Every structure is written in C-alpha cells, then in structure tokens.
Amino acid sequence: MMAFLKLLARNRLALAGLIVIGAVVFLALITPLLPLADPDVTDTPNRFLPPFSEGALLGTDHLGRDLLSRLLWGTRLSLAMGLAAAVIAATIGSAIGIIAGYYGGRTDNLIMRGVDMLMAFPYILLALAIVAALGPGLMNALIAVAAVNVPFFARNIRGITVGIAHKEFVDAARLAGMRDREIILSEVLPNVLPVIVIAMSTTVGWMILETAGLSFLGLGSQPPQADLGSMLGEARSALITNPHTSIVPGAMILVIVMGINLLGDGVRDALDPRLKSGALSRPMPATTVERTGPVPAANTDSLLDIATLRTEFRVRDRLYKAVGGVDLHVEKGECLGIIGESGSGKSVTALSVMGLVASPPGVITGGAVHFDGDDIIGAPYEVLRSLRGRRVAYIFQDPLATLHPLYKVGDQLIEAIQSHESVSKHDARARAIDLLRSVRIPNVDSRIDSYPYEMSGGMRQRVGIAMALANDPDVIIADEPTTALDVTVQAQILSVLSDLRRERGLAIIFITHDFGVVGQLCDRVAVMYAGQIVEEGPTEAVLHSPQHPYTSRLIDCVPTLGGGQRKLAAIPGLPPVVDRLPAGCAFAERCDKAQDTCRVSGIELFATGAARKTRCLFPEIEQERRA
Amino acid sequence: MTGYIIKRLLSAIPVLLGISVIVFLIMAMIPGDPATAILGSYATPENVEKLNRDLGLDQGLVPRYFIWLGNMLQGDFGRSFALNRPVLDEVLDRFGATLILAGTSFVLCSLLGIAAGVISAARQYGVADKAITFVVLLGISIPSFFLGMMMILIFAVQLKWFPVSGMWPIYGDRSLWVLMDHLTMPAIALAVVATGVIARLARSAMLEVLRQDFIRTARAKGVHERRVIWRHALRAAMVSIIPILGIQAGFVLSGAVYIEIVFQWPGVGRMLVDAILKRDILLVQGGVVFIAACYVMFNIMVDVAQALLDPRIKT
C-alpha cells in the first residue's frame, strides 16, 4: 500500500488530480458552513450581474441568484449524485457478477445473456427510456444512470469471481460444510472488493458527467434545486448575452472530470506492473548508440568484423551488460557458429550488428562493427535500413511470432524485395515464387497466398529463410532458426541452408545452443558465456579438443545417440546475472578447476594455437606446457 | 465470409428480441394508468378506453408484449399523440439528420483518434506524444454539451465562422455546402470525446504491437520505418482498435442527444428528449427500439470488418 502511494505521488499529474479533487470535495463538504447567499432566492432586479460584482463574486444568473452559491451547492449535489450512482451501480452490478461467477453454469449463462442485452444499447437510450417511464426528476435520473452502469460492474466482477470460485480456499470452505451464502460473504467478497473499489473510482467521474448530462437535458434535478448540469442547461438560453452563467458551471464540471481522470490514470499506472519495469516502452527503429571512448579499428579485413562490441540493457536503475566486449569476424562464404546457453549474449551480439536490439532498454556502448570496411554502429538510419535485408539478412527463431500474422507470406516476401528495389508487384511476385521454390516449399503457387498460421513450423521457417534470401544478401545471421522445430524438420532446414550457402557464397552466422547443429554446418565456432567469447576456433578442433572448461562441460552435456548409458554431466549452478558480473572469470563459480587467480581480474582471450583462442588461465589441453 | 455474415445476422435476432423485452419492461414500469400517461390528463375517458384496447393494456403483460412486438414487426410503432402522426414516420424523418451528424463524427473520431494514437506511440515520450496526451486528456474531460456551447460562443458568435445552430437555414437553398457549414461545429463537438478515447486506446494498442517480434522482422528486412508503423504495426493494432470503434459508435450516438440539443439539430436525440418532456411515451418507446436495433446492426458490421481484417477469425 505504501509503495502504491509512493508510486502515485511520483506521478506529478496524478498528484495534481488528487489535489484538485481534494479541494473540490473539501469545498463541497464545507459549503453549508460558508457565508453564502441562499442559492434558490431569486432577485430579478439584479439578474445577470457580471462576475466580481458587489456581493456576488461570480455574478448572478437569469433570476438574479448568486452564482457562487449555486455553483458550490450544485457541485455538492453533482458530486453526491455521481457518488451515489456509482455506489448503487457497483453494489447491484457486483452482486449480479458475483452470483453469476460463483454459481456458473446455467445461472451464469442466463444472467450474462441479460447483461449482454443491456450492453447492446447505446447507454443514453437506456437512461432516457428509464427517465421516460419514471418521469424526469433527480432521483429518477440517479436510478437511470446507476441502472445503465450495472452491466459494466456485473461483467467485470463476474470475470474476477470466476477466477476465485475455483481456488483452493473456496473448495476448502465448501468441504468444511459452509453454505454458499457464507462462502460468498466470507471468502469471495473480500477478494473481489479491491477490484470493485477500483472499478468504482474509475467510473465515478463518468457518472458525475452522466447525471450532469441528464440534468442538462432537463431530465434530472428540477428547479429551483440545481446541480451543475441543470445550471448549464438553464444558462444555455442566455449563452450569447451572458456567457459567464454558462462558463461557471461548465468549467467546474471540466475541472472535476479532469481531476478524476488524472487521478484515475495515475492509479492505473501505479497498478500496472509493466510500467514499473519499463516494459511498455516501444523499441525504436534502430538501437541507441552511446559510445564512449575511441572507436576500435577492425581486427581483420573480413566481410563482417565485430570489434570489442558492448551492448547493455538499462532497466530502471539496473544495468545488464549483455555483451561485454565481443570480437568476431566472418569471411565471405564462411559459416561461423555462435554457441552458448540462454542469456549468454549471443542473440544480442547478432542483433547489435544491424541495430535491431530493442531500444529502450538496449544501448550499444562501445565497439565497432565493420561491414565491407565501414563502421556501421551509429550509422544514419537510412544507411542501416538500406543494409538491412539487402546486404545483411536475419532469420529468427519461431517464425509464427516473427512473421506478420495478418499478411500473406507472399506479400511479406514481395515487400522484402520492394523495400530495396523498385520492381513491379508482378515481377516481385515471380521472384517470391522462385525464392519459395529455392527453399523447397511444395505447391508454391498455392502456398504463396497462405497466411503464416496456415503453415507448419517447418514451412514457416522456410518462408523465413526465403525472406532472408530475397535480396541476395552477403551475410545471413540466423538466430536459433531451428530451435522451435522437431528434429527431422531441423535437419531439412539445415540442409537447405547448407546448400544455399554453397550455391550463393553466403556468409552465415549461425546462433544456436546445439553442438550437433554446429558440427553439421559451421566452419568455425565461438563459444559465449556471460556476454563474452570464452573460446573460438575451427569447429572440428573445438569439438574434439575443447580448451575452455566451459566448452568441455557444455559438450559433455550433449547426449550421444547410441553412446550407451553414460552419465550426463549437467553443469552445476547457473550462469551469472549480467548486472552483477564477478571481477574475474565469469565461469569461475561453476568451474572445478578454478584457482584464486581466476577470480582476481578479467581474463584475456589468449591465442592458443593456429586460429584458436581461449579465455582461460588454465586451458585444458596445453595446461602442462604452460605450467 | 457470406456464411459468417449470415451467422452474425442470425445471432442478432435474440439480441433484438432481448432489446424489445427490456424496453417493454421499462415502459411497463410507468406508474399509474399507461393510457392516461400517454394521452395526458385531459384525455376523455372514451379515448383512454380505446387506447387501452388498442394497446392491449387491459390484458396481461405477456400478451401485451406480443401484441406490441407483432405490431412493430408490421411496421406499426404506434402513434405519437403530441405530434399526431405515426411514430415510425417521425423517427425515420429525424433519423437521417442524426445519421449525418453521428456518421460524420464517427468518421472524424476514428480517423483522428487512430492517427493521433499512432503518432503518439511512434513518438513515445517525445514532444508530439506529450502534446497529444495533453490534448486528449482535455478532450475526454470536457463535457460535449459544454464544449458545444463554448464553440458556439467562440466560432459562431465571436468569429462568425459558422452558423450558430440548426441543420439548414430557414430561408435559402439546401446545398451540400450549406449543410457542411452547419455540420462542422456539431460534428467536431460530438467527435472530441470519442477521438480522445480512441487515441488513448490506439496508442496503447500500438505500443503493445510495436514490441512484437514481427516488427523486428520487418525492420530486419529493411522496411522503411514509416511503413513499419503505418502498415505492419497499425494493421496488427487494428485488431484491437476495431472493437473499440464499435463501442465508441455507441457513445457517439449517445452524445448526439446532447449535441442535437445544443445545436438545435433536428435529429432523433432531440426528438426523444422533447418526447420525454411531453410524456409522449409511444414516441420514446419506438425511437429507443429503432435506434437500438440500428446500433445492433452497426455492431454486426463492425464484427464483419474485424473478420475481414483478421483472417484467423473462423469464417
């Protein structure tokens, strides 16, 4: 509760709303105590006095009544009406909702059908019908507004109750022999009460507006008694000659409703956990770049060269160093595997290349990515855009989520082509068909007009690959493209990729956590752990003689088919959280060879042979020689 | 798709029946003798007697309902005693004016609301976002009838840009241009609240969608950001925006009652309020059933639009 209030107070607008509403309510409460003129005493000689007149601060209305006094009494009445309507609607609506939700079955069905019927009316029609039947008047308007809002509460509270009615403690109460009415009152009601109160607080402003509206139409409070709505309604005939009589009550309604809205928004925000975590931020077109320090030169003159890349996530006051200085490169026609557990930073590394890391919260804070000789970190948006998909293409995991659900796959392919080339839709479609054939999709002519949800996972991933190939890129970055697929489909996808690479001379960066896949496809492999590369080298060499303890443990985790009953060696412990990395080797805590020296300071990536590198003080093979 | 439309139309039948039952029950709450209430206290006993017989008021609640329903299905909504003409004729005459007003407002609030929401989301926390958020807050807080009055004061009385009220001038031609001149202010006043609500919901729907994986895919393809926002994201966000448009149509229709009063617009809303004040019960009853039925039909159109937009909805 305190945390909630603090959060509310932090929202300055909500606080302003609270203050405004507090002040209005306070004024309404003390109105009878104030030395005001009688609001209903007419004084026609002094009609339409302007504001700031002697004895009438806000002037007088068409019957010479003091506007200030009428405003305060009217506010009092409007607030009371709105609140009363809210309480009545909440009570009746919640009762209906709880009964429907608790009993379920036919009772629920019948009640909710009725509620749906009521909701089929534009709200004012129902209110007008009720007032028409009962006759205009304050109480009847109140009944009408309350009745119109009953369905809202019934529906919301029913939803909550259905969730609670099947909880263990309700079952327990039933087993204990409690009667339904007792269970509802003692077990269900206390749990839905907060929801009722919140729903009420968000609708009270609305009800004030509605009752004022009915009074404005002359169907609510009857003269001489006035609420804000009927004051405005009566002033309307003098709108042009004496606008102040309209502005005074109208502005008051505006202030009240605005205050309630501000407060309501604040409450809603304070209750929404996603806002606290910043998860509602939208990612920008390209990742934010805030490079401090000098931009490193390329390590190699490869097609794609990543040099000491650093990418962080800034979530509130936490800093997650997802990528902590990664060096990688890939040659033309080469396949580089990046392997590691979830959260090791391999995907973030790959997404950083084309500025696709969600930002906020992602920020690239250092390093360089040289593509074809030029550093593209922090390049202007249009430069990045023209590279994306045309020179460097991506294939993502889970194509059901990564393909647009509402466009046909053919149109998505055509769009990929037309984003970089001005070709006619007809030609682009012909090329899309060729692309789908090249990834061995059967019945292309009908498949091209399918929606993603109509395809199997394997077919969708082929579409994903076809899309990546659309503009004949130089590099394809495949981010766990086979993870969501079953093994046979996985093998097919890999063979498609492998063939394409041979035919087109593609460079592939293949991200996976599966050594089997790496062995099948990749020339070189880099192993990532806690945002850093811990070992790199030719695939064969790394797989057969891993040098970093982490790599060898990782390989030991892989069960071998037909390898007999072997103990699978899971790695004890968990990878470190990247907002609290240890000073020394990040793997030290889980490593059974770790010495004190490992924990002192960061460890370099040593060259440990031809094309091999290891970030370990005690690499497995050459241990003796170094010692 | 045709099958889906037929299915939706059939499913409207119980809703329409339910609406008629609810209106009937509300009208049955009228205290005292309904015929006297309808004809007013100066009616002769013979007339009261006759009306009671015509409406079946001398019978029980259930037969009365079916007599009323049967008459309505034959196009007989009863007779307005105050206007001395068939209810349906009067409602149909007035409905056109309401349709023009509410329809224009609905188009206005849909387009502006969605555009504002999309821009707001695309520039989240930017100047445009903050400006839109503030205007929207103001818009959803101002009662439409007060806004209408202030607009008359400023734009009609002070600046003389638009006529003060009415749909047509008393004398003069009835061209489209003249209509637009009269329509502008009431249509805007009516649209403001709904625009604000739609803008808010469109903004959050867009923010929700922009975090989805397929947006990243579109960007990775090299699709231009403008297209990412207005095609990829908006198309997906429309799935949650369209139902809101359906709900807001109901609010626009409701708000039309106030706006018709403020701007002396000769629509059904004003007719209903006048009828209530004159205790013209049959006119209220008929008008309410008619508009509610139209609204149900409109919502079916919304559902169909939704199905057209989202192929995943089983047709």
A106 exposure class (CB count in 10 Å sphere: 0-12, 13-18, 19+): exposed
Beta carbons of B288 and B23 less than 8 angstroms apart:
yes
pLDDT tens digits for A385-441? Answer: 999 999 999 999 877 888 999 999 999 999 999 999 999 999 999 999 999 998 888
Tally the residues of chain B. Answer: 315
Q: For the residues A178-201, what does the mean pLDDT come to?
A: 86
Instruction: Indicate if the pLDDT at residue A458 is higher than 90.
Output: no
What's the confidence (pLDDT) of residue B315? 53
Q: Give the residue with greater pLDDT, A10 vs A262.
A: A262
Instruction: Indicate if the pLDDT at residue B145 is higher than 90.
Output: yes
Separation of alpha carbons A158 and A367, rounded Å: 55
Of the pLDDT bands very low, low, confident and very high (cuts 50, 70, 90), residue A624 is very low
- CB spacing of A239 vs B214 below 8 angstroms: no
Which residues of A are less than 8 Å from B300 in CB distance?
none
What's the confidence (pLDDT) of residue A622? 52
**What residue of B is the nearest CA neighbor of A387?**
B222
Of the pLDDT bands very low, low, confident and very high (cuts 50, 70, 90), residue A626 is very low
Which residues of A are less than 8 Å from B29 in CB distance?
130, 133-134
Q: Scan for tokens 């057969």, then name that residue.
A: A544
A519 exposure class (CB count in 10 Å sphere: 0-12, 13-18, 19+): middle
Which residues of B are less than 8 Å from A471 in CB distance?
222
* Alpha-carbon gap: B179 to the closest alpha carbon of chain A (Å): 23
What's the confidence (pLDDT) of residue A625? 43
**In this structure, are strands A507-512 and A475-479 parallel, antiparallel, or unpaired?**
parallel
What's the confidence (pLDDT) of residue A627? 38
Which residues of B are less than 8 Å from A470 in CB distance?
221
Beta carbons of B68 and B24 less than 8 angstroms apart:
yes
pLDDT tens digits for B12-34? Answer: 898 899 889 998 888 887 776 76
- For B257, which of A117, A124, A393 is closest by C-beta distance? A124
Separation of alpha carbons A314 and A218, rounded Å: 56
Phi, psi values for residue A194, rounded to 5° = -60, -40
Beta carbons of A63 and A44 less than 8 angstroms apart:
yes
- ipTM for the predicted complex comes to 0.88
What's the confidence (pLDDT) of residue A569? 65
- For A253, which of B122, B146, B228 is closest by C-beta distance? B146
What's the confidence (pLDDT) of residue A46? 80
Beta carbons of A333 and A500 less than 8 angstroms apart:
no
Chain A touched by B13 (CB under 8 Å): no
Q: For the residues A586-613, what does the mean pLDDT come to?
A: 81
Q: Give the residue with greater pLDDT, A570 vs A187.
A: A187
Q: Give the residue with greater pLDDT, B114 vs B32.
A: B114
User: What dihedral do alpha carbons B20, B25, B28, B30 form, nearest 10°?
Assistant: -110
- CB spacing of A250 vs B217 below 8 angstroms: no
A336's enclosing H/E stretch is strand A335-339
Of the pLDDT bands very low, low, confident and very high (cuts 50, 70, 90), residue A91 is very high
Separation of alpha carbons A306 and A348, rounded Å: 13
B residues 135-164 closer than 8 Å to A (CB): 137-138, 140-143, 145-146, 149-150, 152-153, 157, 164
Beta carbons of A301 and A42 less than 8 angstroms apart:
no
* pTM for this model (two decimals): 0.87
What's the confidence (pLDDT) of residue A242? 87
What's the confidence (pLDDT) of residue A294? 84
Q: Scan for tokens 């056109």, then name that residue.
A: B96
What's the confidence (pLDDT) of residue A256? 92
pLDDT tens digits for B189-199? Answer: 999 999 999 99
Q: For the residues A250-267, what does the mean pLDDT come to?
A: 88
- For A282, which of B207, B221, B291 is closest by C-beta distance? B207
